Amino acid sequence: MNLIVPRIQSQTANHVDPDWWRGAVIYQIYPRSFQDSDGNGIGDLAGIVQRLPYVVDLGADGIWISPFFRSEMLDFGYDITDHRDVDPLFGDQGDFDALISRAHDLGLKVLIDLVLSHTSDRHPWFRKSRGSREGAYADWYVWADAKPDGTPPNNWLSVFGGSAWEWDGERMQYYLHNFLREQPDLNFHNPAVQQEQLDIARFWLERGVDGFRLDTVNFYFHDPDLRDNPALAPELRSDSIAPLVNPYNWQEHVHDRNRPENLAFLRRFRDLLDEFPGSAALGEVGDSERGTEIQAEYTSGGDKLHMCYSFEFLSNPVPSGTRVAAVLEEFESHSVDGWACWAFSNHDVMRHATRWALPEPALRIYAALLLCLRGTVCLYQGEELGLSEADVAFDDLQDPYGIRFWPRFKGRDGSRTPMVWSREGGSGGFSEAKPWLPVPKEHLGLAAASQQTDCASVLNFYRTMLSYRSRNPVLAKGRLKVHEATEERLSLVRELEGQRMVCAFNLSGRPQEISLPEGRWTVDATAPFAAGDGRKLAPWQAWFGLADET
């Protein structure tokens, strides 16, 4: 169902800083698990509206909402059947308009998750495409003949396991799917496909959104010659994109993603965004070998995406001081004008409290570190409560990814369990019905309502740290230089318009001696850590100092 509606005026049109996104803190909402308003056990748009004041109190500048479009829900909204309508599970167009209006009234920007690389196999486009090798939609998806022996056209693999090619007996060809077989990939070499995706983006911009999170932005194009991917050396294999039980990691993905043709399309996408002053695009770069390089490439020059995140800090290695410094320096080496977005958790990876086995004091120090990096920051719902990864029993699993690779890989459900708002009831204030995923008992003790009244809670630390970042633009937008980096400590120097600040972090459970840059430094007593001389840091502590220019 496609609706034609008048444009809803966005707050971005009212003399708002067009660079609001640069250094902003964006709070990711997974709508199925945020707040259920109608008692069916699934979160919805009206539930998001109900909880927006919480996001404002936290101190975020905007929200990113994971997909709420019409979908078969095999991949929970990422297998779309209509990009221009709201799935009834989440509400309707009126609910979305109310969300935009309320968010803007509260001063929040709204980014929505735009899935352009693939659709559901139930999408009308795919039904038409598989029906005939002729006609307007014949070339909208990536079709290829079998090899003479009937096997797939090449060796490309799916992120979700197995071959990336599925045989279609109706069209008598294989089609490409980088994810589920029910998620066929669109053919971005077709100009009509590109134009339709731009028109979809325009539709939502005219409804009032402030921009987009672009799902799998480096997967849009494929090698038209369908060349095999080369093997990847075992020592270079990483589990940042797919679990190690999946041989997807055994290839160097040079022909099925990261194609140079993508840059021209991203410029077209930026031209569209520039028609709506203040709108912005956040790209997800899924790559384990060249993530920071592509992140920089896609955001450089001011003519492509505004910001990108990759999986360097969403992967398993704990971000030690040396690792953080290496990632920052790698990004800067590829672009002097690109803009990064940094995140530790999201809906696709294990929550970082569990992934890195962090004690509660470490949650604070890593939150402070994240909020002191140069770039935009994404926070995933519940990380501000210190939520751990939920252990979801096999019988309760919903994620097809986890069901396929159980028990070596349990999928993504553990990071998608419902938000806990109160300790009462079994669903933590999320729903009056049985939630679509169970709420772990251990999460109930971390409920937002309980933490709000505890000055020493993780939630109140996040609030304090976000407020500190907001009061000090040097942390959001200033230049960054690594002063000292070891496995257990890290010191950063930030500078903006004459203000210089040093941020020193003890990333360990034992005291650390640190060095400060040359010059006179005065402790910033307003920082959310115990003041000291900056020479010796207690376990899991930080020190913030301001340059004394007198």
Q: What angle do CA 101, 107, 111 make, to 5 degrees?
A: 70
Active site residue 215: yes
- Residue ranges of the alpha helices (H) in 397-437? 400-405
* Rounded Cα gap, residues 400 and 73, in angstroms: 11
Token pair in block for residue 38:
């109608």
DSSP assignment string, 447-480: -HHHHHT-TTSHHHHHHHHHHHHHH-HHHHHSEE
Annotated catalytic residue, options 170, 225, 275, 518? 275
Buried b / exposed e across 83-103, counting CB within 10 Å, b at 16+? Answer: bbbbbebbbbeebbebbbebb
Task: List alpha helices for 33-138, DSSP H.
Answer: 45-58, 93-105, 124-131
H or E element that contains 380: strand 376-380
Tokens of 215: 């799902």
CB neighbours (10 Å) of residue 523? 16
Q: Which of 44, 75, 113, 215 is an active site residue?
A: 215
* Nearest alpha carbon to residue 425 among 444, 402, 398: 444
**DSSP-derived secondary structure for 477-513:** HSEEEEEEE-SSEEEEEEEETTEEEEEEEE-SSS-EE
Its sign, for the CA torsion 508, 509, 513, 517, is positive
- The burial of 50, by beta-carbon neighbours within 10 Å (0-12 exposed, 13-18 middle, 19 or more buried), is given as middle
- Which positions ≥6 away from 35 have C-beta within 8 Å? 43, 44, 47, 48, 50, 51, 419, 421, 430
Residue that has been written with the tokens 């993508």 in this structure: 262
Residue 285's alpha-carbon distances to 235, 308, 349, in angstroms, are: 22, 7, 14
Instruction: Verify whether residue 182 is a known catalytic residue.
Output: no
Residues catalogued as catalytic: 215, 275
